[in-house]
Chains A and B, each alone.
Chain A
Amino acid sequence: MAAVFEALCETIDATDRRIILATQAGLPRVPRPYQQLAEDLGLSADDVMARLQRMQRDGIIRRIGAVPNHYKLGFKGNGMSVWDVPDAAVRELGQLIGALDDVTHCYHRPRHLPHWPYNLFAMVHGRDRAEVQMKVARIADLLGDAVRSHDVLFSTRILKKTGLRLPGGDN
C-alpha cells in the first residue's frame, strides 16, 4: 500500500489536487464548465482539460458522469449476492458476472470461516426482490458447479449514506 501511495504522489501534483477538490461537489452547470473551473483556480482551460484527461487515463478518475440513486429509478430490489467459489476460479468467474447487465460492483473479498464462506460479491438490482432472486438464479445457472454455496442479502434500510470524501477534503 505504501508503494501505491508513493507512486500516486508522482502521478498527481498539487494542481491536480486542487482540481479534485474543486470538482468533488460536481461539475458546474454552465456552458463551459472546464473554463469556469479554470477561472476559479487561476489556470487555463486547456490545462484543466489535459489534467482531467490524464487522470481519467490513469484511472484516478473512473469516469466523468452521473451516479443515479437506484431507488429513485424504481429499482427497489437491491441484493448483495455472495458466492463461495474456488479461489483459483474467482477471477474468471468474477469477470463473467461483472459483465452481466444486472450486476454492479463485483468484487473478490476475503472469507471469514466458519461464519462467512463467501469470497465473491456482486450487487444485483431489480424492480423488486422477486426480480433480483430470478437474476441471482440465472447467475447460479451460469456459474454451475463452480459454486459451492451462495446467498443474497437484501438491504432493509439505509442507515447512513454520504459521499466518499477525498482525504484532506473536509475543510
Chain B
Amino acid sequence: MSTQASCRDSEAVALDALDKRIVNRLQEGFPISDCPYAKVAAELGTDEATLMARIDALLDTGVLTRFGPLYHAEQLGGGLTLAALSVLPENFERVAAQVNAFPEVAHNYARDHELNMWFVLATETPERIQQVLQAIEQATGYNVYNMPKKEEFFVGLKFKV
C-alpha cells in the first residue's frame, strides 16, 4: 500500500479544458437534487453522460481521490489527531512500517525536519486516540508528539487548475 502510493501519487496527469472545469467545479460542491449531473453538466457546457464518464476517468487516473459526501470525522463521534515522531535515519523504514501497520493511521508523510514523520490518526472513539498513541510509542520506542487540533479556521475550496 504505502510503496505503491508514493509512486503513483507523484505523477502529474494532463487534463484538457473540460477536465479542468470539472475539477474546479466539483470542489465547490454538488447539488442535492433529482438530476444533479445534468444540472452541473449544463453549467459546464457539456452533457450528463460526458460528465459522468469524465468523473469516472478522473477517479481512475487518481486525479480525484474521492467524489461524494465528505463527512466530518469528529462530528461522527470518532477521534482524530495529527502526531509526529523524530526518528533516526537508520530506524526510519522500520518505524514507518510499524506506524503504518496500525489501521488507525490514515495518512503518514515523511517531512524534512527534526520531526520527520507526521501521521494522522482516526479512531472510532476519542478515547481510543491515547491508547493508540501509547501503543505506537511502545512499538517504535519513540516519543510521540500529539498535536490534536484546537480549532479549525475556514478554508475555501482550492486547487484551481
Contact = CB atoms under 8 A, between A and B. Distances in A.
A130 interface: no
B73 A164 contact: yes
A161 B107 contact: yes
Nearest to A107: B149
A23 to B, nearest CB: 5
A68 B32 contact: no
Contacts of B155: 98, 103-106
A66 interface: yes
Contacts of A153: 111-113, 115, 118
B158 A125 contact: yes
Contact of A160 (B37, B100, B149, B152): B100
Contacts of A168: 124
B46 interface: no
A109 B146 CA distance: 9
Contact of A116 (B26, B115, B119): B115
Contacts of B80: 164
Contacts of A160: 1-2, 5, 96, 99-100, 105-108, 119
Interface residues of A, number: 85
Could you say which interface size class chain B belongs to? 35 or more
B133 to A, nearest CB: 13
A90 to B, nearest CB: 8
Contacts of B37: 29, 31, 33
A61 B11 contact: no
A45 B36 CA distance: 13
A160 to B, nearest CB: 4
Interface in B46-74: 48, 52, 55-56, 58-59, 61-74
Interface string A1-13: 1001100110010
A29 B56 contact: yes
Interface string B118-149: 11101111110000000000000000011111
B109 A73 contact: no
B122 to A, nearest CB: 5
Contacts of A60: 71-72, 75-76
Nearest to B49: A31
Nearest to A17: B76
Interface string A115-159: 110000100010000000000000000000000000101111111
Contact of B147 (A25, A109, A159, A162): A109
A129 to B, nearest CB: 10
Contacts of A164: 71, 73, 80, 106, 120, 122
Given A160-B5, A166-B76, A167-B77, A69 B62 contact: yes
